[in-house]
Structure 1
Amino acid sequence: MTETTQSILSIENLDKSFGAVKILKDINVSIEPGEFLVLVGPSGCGKSTLLNCIAGLEESTAGDINIGGRSMIGVAPKDRDIAMVFQSYALYPTMTVGKNITFGMKVRGTPEAEQQAKLNEVATLLQIDHLLDRKPSQLSGGQRQRVAMGRALVRDPQLFLFDEPLSNLDAKLRVEMRTEIKRLHQTLGASIVYVTHDQIEAMTLATKIVVMKDGVIQQVGTPNEIYNHPANMFVADFMGSPSMNLIPAQATSSGNSTQISIARAAGDELVLNFDREISGLNGSGSKEVILGLRPENITDPLSIVAQSGQLADCQIDVVEPAGSDTFVVTSLGGKQVTARLRADAEVMAGQSASLAFDLTKASVFEPDSGARIA
């Protein structure tokens, strides 16, 4: 059986141009039944354009899109067996919630009894059964988003498309709705493509993430792969909050050991042992690298993470209490570096403190290309 027939969605060599401007460049990605694919990247990276191509709202310039094993070339949006949830909700203001949800079924000639059964099922699932007689203007933003999702769910399509559905909600409601969408996916086993610029949303919702920049896919992987093994410095910097520390350093390999040396303002170098081979060193020699360390991999000696860490005294420039954690900023390799300590860690700005560097989850990048080399 070919990949196309196995996959709910398969995108092959897709390009999209507006005039002379190429927006999407050789996009290749697929999802299996029940996967939650999140397209993430900064504004203007092409993620919404890609979603619109999948939906048929934009026509691709080259390549192919298969949904359920069928090529979508020349297929109208209404015939693609998809349902879309927009950022703007797109509800009919004069219709009740119930009629908004059933309108599509009514247009398609679905029997009245089936419409009602579907409506009851979806309204209960989304906990909006008490709102069915209200108009959209009488609802909160979160309630409107549930109605928009309900309208998509009653279609029971092969593929759900979400275009930044939570970006109009306030921070607290966004977290609540994120949980609801996650629960829906687990309950229904639906196949979903979801667009966001919020990397926390991407990490919490996805089974598979596509990180995009300037119309090019930078990396495809699970949230764990993207977070712990970023393919390049762009992914490392974009995914994670606070983002990964990217520290200029010198890697020196001799026999079975590799050392990473980082310049410090005081003049003495910070030297750390690295237990993996770095591409291009081949057991001997020295080269400039960028050491990538997440804030949680630079911590205080009493932290659990610190058990596999290497201790070094560092000058603390800034202390930022954050409730469950304390973040501190120090200077390494000429860069501001963030460390994540326990909430009750005793540190003071302007003083030296012992920090533990855990290099077991470190990434090493090529300074010029930004590519991962260890």
Structure 2
Amino acid sequence: MAPILEINNLFKNYGSVEILKDINVAIEQGDFLVLVGPSGCGKSTLLNCIAGLEPITSGNMAIGGQDMTNVSPKDRDIAMVFQSYALYPTMTVAKNITFGMKVRGIDPATQAEKLAYVAQQLQIEPLLNRKPGQLSGGQRQRVAMGRALVRDPKLFLFDEPLSNLDAKLRVEMRTEIKALHQRLGASMVYVTHDQIEAMTLATKIVVMKGGVIQQIGTPAEIYNRPANLFVADFMGSPAMNLIPAKAKANGNDMQIEIARNDGGPIVLTDTRNMDLPENVILGVRPEDIVDSALARAGDTQEAECVIDIVEPAGADTFAVMQLGGKHVTARLHAETTATAGVAQRLAFDLGKVSYFEPDTGLRLN
């Protein structure tokens, strides 16, 4: 079966400025693709190219196995949900949702049936006779989604749909969008700058920077095996610790030396990764540095570390220390005895670490 969306060698220029550079992405029917990256990385431009709202400079694109490179937006069988909701203020919720069907000449009985189904899916039945001005932000976003859902398109496109909502509502709507995707089995492309949103919603993530794809993978692949320093730093909250270190071969293993401000270096022994250059950046997630008493069996190595700052955060306590000249965060248990200014025995999980080349930033293991 052909991918539901396939983009090959896509470039997008504005005059002499290259905005998107050699984009290649394919997703299968039912995938939830999230485009994520900092502001200005090109993710919304790419979404607009998929929608046909922006012409592409070169390359090609197929939706449902059909070439859509030069097809107008209305003939692409897509539905788009915008950040601004884009509702008609003088129309009721019901009319906003059915307007597109009315324009396409769909009979009133089918319109009513689809409206009832979508209103139930989104739990907006009580709102159908209200106008957008009488709705909260979350309710308006549901109506905008309803208008897309009645189309039953090949592809749903979402452009930062939750960025106008407050933090609590964003989390609720995120859960609803995920549940909706699971119920409908629809194919979705979703743009966000929020990496938590990307991790929770996606079946596949595209991380972008400066118009270039940095990595494509499942949330687990992106999180556990970032392709470069940018992805490692961008994905995850708190971010991955990136610590300058020295690697030295020692018989059948590698010794990883990390400078400490107080006393000699920490030395960790890695038995898995033998082929490392002398200078490396050691990447370790905060949850992979734990109190030694709580260390899981396996590939953990312990070291004494002087804690600079302790930050209680409910279920976790974050401890910050200086290693390799960098602030390093450990995610400890709420009941930890870690105290600022005091050395604490911590366990590093070497089964989970990443190594990066300092000059190119590329992953080594």
TM, length-normalised to structure 2: 0.98
Secondary structure of residue in 1 paired with 2:314: coil
Amino acid at match of 1:352: A
Corresponding position of 1:369: 360
Secondary structure of residue in 2 paired with 1:328: strand
Aligned length: 365
Corresponding position of 1:66: 62
For 1:30-109, list aligned pairs within 5 A. 30-109=26-105
Secondary structure of residue in 2 paired with 1:372: coil
Whether the 8 Å contact between 1:278 and 1:364 is mirrored in structure 2 is no
Amino acid at match of 2:143: V
> In structure 2, which of residues 326, 331, 341 is the aligned counterpart of residue 350 of structure 1?
341
Secondary structure of residue in 2 paired with 1:302: helix
The Cα of 1:307 is off from its aligned counterpart by 6.1
> In structure 2, which of residues 278, 283, 288 is the aligned counterpart of residue 287 of structure 1?
278
Structure 2 gaps, min length 5? none
Q: Deviations over 1:274-306 (max 9, x none)?
A: 122254x4xxxx510000000000111232547
Q: Distance in 1 between matches of 2:274 and 2:192?
A: 34
For 1:1-374, list aligned pairs within 5 A. 6-279=2-275, 281=276, 287-305=278-296, 308-374=299-365
Whether the 8 Å contact between 1:318 and 1:330 is mirrored in structure 2 is yes
Secondary structure of residue in 1 paired with 2:56: coil
Q: Distance in 2 between matches of 1:53 and 1:307?
A: 47
Q: Distance in 1 between matches of 2:109 and 2:87?
A: 23
Secondary structure of residue in 1 paired with 2:117: helix
Secondary structure of residue in 2 paired with 1:329: strand
Secondary structure of residue in 2 paired with 1:24: strand
Q: Distance in 2 between matches of 1:83 and 1:25?
A: 25
The Cα of 1:266 is off from its aligned counterpart by 1.4
Q: Distance in 2 between matches of 1:276 and 1:323?
A: 35
The Cα of 1:21 is off from its aligned counterpart by 0.5
Structure 1 gaps, min length 5? none
Q: Deviations over 1:237-276 (max 9, x none)?
A: 0000000000000011233211100011113010001122
Whether the 8 Å contact between 1:160 and 1:190 is mirrored in structure 2 is yes
Q: Distance in 2 between matches of 1:364 and 1:117?
A: 55
Whether the 8 Å contact between 1:97 and 1:147 is mirrored in structure 2 is yes
Secondary structure of residue in 1 paired with 2:74: helix
Runs of 4+ in 1 over 6 A off after TM superposition: none
Amino acid at match of 2:320: V
TM, length-normalised to structure 1: 0.96
Identity %: 71
Q: Distance in 1 between matches of 2:330 and 2:117?
A: 48
Whether the 8 Å contact between 2:79 and 2:156 is mirrored in structure 1 is yes
CA RMSD of aligned residues (A): 1.0
| Cα distance, 1:70–1:42 mapped onto 2, change above 3 Å | same
Amino acid at match of 2:227: A
Q: Distance in 2 between matches of 1:275 and 1:206?
A: 34
Whether the 8 Å contact between 1:278 and 1:373 is mirrored in structure 2 is no
Q: Distance in 2 between matches of 1:74 and 1:24?
A: 17
